Amino acid sequence: MFSALHLRTPAHCESWVGHGTITRMAKRGFELRVPEGDSIKRSVCGDCGFIDYRNPRIICGVVPIFEDKVLLCTRAIEPRVGFWTVPAGFMEIGETPAEGAAREAIEEANADIEVGDLIGVYSIRHIGQVHMYYRGQMRNSNFHAGPESLEVRLFDWEDIPWGNLAFPTIEWALRDFERNRGRTQALPGERSTQAPD
């Protein structure tokens, strides 16, 4: 459902949208209820009817390859500091997921990557995230750690530190990359965390 309410946020609600917690918003006159014509509980302003829709966010990432080696970074920021990841992060407004993945590779590893086929779409239900990972060809062998990485290294496939990866999605992306090896066109995998009971 799309209504005029989404187009303009009333001034008195504006500062709460996106960063107010449900409890704080309740104190400000927001109530948790199912809006008319909807089926899910939302935070609704009791004053003007503004509905604070909360929907999943998109994370985009890339599996960068140079001469059969894969580029991994250790995280310099929480969560999971010191664990290995491929370049990935929140997609920004104004870019495509593939463009976001290329940007993340520059930010985290100063690596120039030609982003290729989509290899996986992963839903992390409980935190409302959709992750999209791509194959990536490094245009040259230059790279160094950006501010969000402690270390960046090229690994032979058999040396990937499977036990020290930052998140399950990183392993999923690497496995879906592996599964697509030798294919001209990648067949993306689709995975998700378990549905709550």
Kindly list the residues in this chain that would bind Zn ion in the complex (CB under 5 A). 10, 13, 45, 47-48, 50
Could you tell me the smallest distance in angstroms from the CB atom of residue 129 to Zn ion? 28
Which CB sits closer to Zn ion, 20 or 188?
A: 20
Could you tell me the smallest distance in angstroms from the CB atom of residue 53 to Zn ion? 14
For residue 137, what are the β-bridge partners?
Answer: 65, 114
Which CB sits closer to Zn ion, 13 or 62?
A: 13
Which CB sits closer to Zn ion, 49 or 168?
A: 49
Could you tell me the smallest distance in angstroms from the CB atom of residue 51 to Zn ion? 10
Which CB sits closer to Zn ion, 10 or 168?
A: 10
Cis ω before 79 (30° cut-off from 0)? yes
> What are the C-alpha distances in Å from 8 to residues 3, 34, 39, 52, 96?
10, 21, 23, 12, 25
Residue type, 73: C
**Alpha carbons 85 and 105: distance in angstroms, whole number:** 11
Could you tell me the smallest distance in angstroms from the CB atom of residue 9 to Zn ion? 8
Could you tell me the smallest distance in angstroms from the CB atom of residue 43 to Zn ion? 11
Cβ–Cβ under 8 Å, residues 157 and 178: yes
Which value, to the nearest 10 degrees, does the dihedral of the CA atoms of residues 190, 192, 194, 195 take?
-90
Cβ–Cβ under 8 Å, residues 186 and 178: no
Cβ–Cβ under 8 Å, residues 180 and 172: no
Residue nearest to Zn ion (CB): 45
Which CB sits closer to Zn ion, 26 or 145?
A: 26
Cβ–Cβ under 8 Å, residues 145 and 105: no
